[in-house]
Structure 1
């Protein structure tokens, strides 16, 4: 499922601020009380939050349930996939690979791929890594992205809901084979309409397949798998010890159940195109990453060089790349760095969504304070309102620590 986003018009209406200064403990207690009240009244089964700055984590907590039937609480250490926030890790990894001399952002992707990918309407305009990272490659998400991209973890799922587009475990395929099937003229699912009417470096078109292709290019350029590369250069340096790209690389006992609604569990699934949205982590681990990203923006980051961090946040888009450019505060598609969303109101980060997963991660470029929210429940009318209430509570308290 292509990333589900909270309405930008709703997010634009959120209020910012608080009226008085308090001690960190009293602010934490106040925020916890507010979030407990929200959690108690709403249909979202479980969620976690964190507020960070460049010094580290200021607040983290979990609310509701990771497993409602078992009465297992959702905590800051509960694990779940985070949807398209995962794409920011592709951006960081590409810049690390560039530091290592393995690739350049303006290299044509066909310099690395074992199969050819070209825009059928603009064959003389090679697609570059930078264009994948800014969603201007001309690659769209075909129907096969949803129809073939979600694979059940288990063949038998009891009473858990199985979405109509979830495939059986025996239909799992290698990531590279999946990309080739969709994007190569030799692929079994290849269609010219997978490519837009615009040339590479033209109109912005958010592409999950393009993001997965960027991660695959990195693998070909470095000779390492994407999970190995990110483990070595991101997770290990940041001590993200509970984070991984698959169920067998994390402590599954810490993984949250996912909920189609307040009373219906959703069957566990995995993504064939996993780099675009399949990272499994916790608020505790993701807070470490967000703090480091803020450090990088401030010029004190250690995961990448100062030059690489500068590149991560350089806006790649103009009005010419957009048909309709929303200026809502948390619109991560207003502009794009290297897979890093940049809003028109100084918020930098990304949103995410997959079946029964909704996530937000942003920091304020002026205050250098960031916040994140991970939810384990599909959002409908009432749960959208709860999501907004949680996010508003974070906004109201983020500058008070």
Structure 2
């Protein structure tokens, strides 16, 4: 705007039009991020509230993440958009510190929820038979309490006590502070504790857990592919398409997290350690890139789940979603596959294919939930001498499943013995 005032009248008009056009475009982009953040996370909360099948310990962290991102979209993003559009803060120093504290607290809580989700998925995949004893209601409550305690300790407490500023005074209330500016002041100690404790350390753990999950998915995909290979073909076990889907999913989850938050914490750490400020445009870009992660989370951590997708569909079509029940018309329109129509399987895979039945299995949270039998619909063999448990990536990104074979649940982990099931598959 200042550049426009130094030009001639005609050039000034053109400059003002361009400035107004850029402001409108910027407002549209920021408004789209805010609307997507609010609407996406509201849909996640409504889906869990309506569908009883989604009310499990596994989805507690998903709901916690959606609630955190929803609060961020309602309490923080509108004021951040005002700062970007007006280049000033019209609400005073006291509310500025409250806004800054909410910003730091909710962003930290969102990152820590993603961290807890990675740990939950790690235990579900690496120790599925012990998952219900490792992840209990009490431990989930403690984990959520830990998330919010840490978030409060790096936001409201240091900001309102002045521990984050170079001179250890409360920010934005000094004589040299401008009344129309709202910024988060930083010192080296605060930056190191906040950046390492709430981002870099969780990032390393998340990369390790998802890499471990990927390795297990790769091994199990090879075993399943070997079992489904025809005896007339060569014995080479190529990776099936579902392993590629697992790889893409994990890369998307980790890629979105790193792309959204790594630039911001790099700038954040640089500012605190060097005591130099970057230009406003660079800071605004990396900040809103981090905010965009809250708009992507409903897609990455909920929409990729089959049960959530079903709940979304029912919610958007105004149908009431209840617990899954066996219905004679529940699979109308699907072509049934005759028993003898499948290709001959290798000698290691003897037995008949599993028919679609209303089976039940003990869910991780100790409650009886309907067993999803889409594995049988896709014609995968279920009786093998080797282990045959299918990871979440084979059928559902976030749900680990065990495939029943006649009167047994087949599972192998470090030479574990076969465990007999309490349910019998009807012929």
State the TM-score, normalizing by the size of structure 1.
0.24
Which structure ranks higher in relative contact order (CA pairs < 8 Å, sequence separation ≥ 6)?
1
Please identify the structure whose Cα radius of gyration is greater.
2
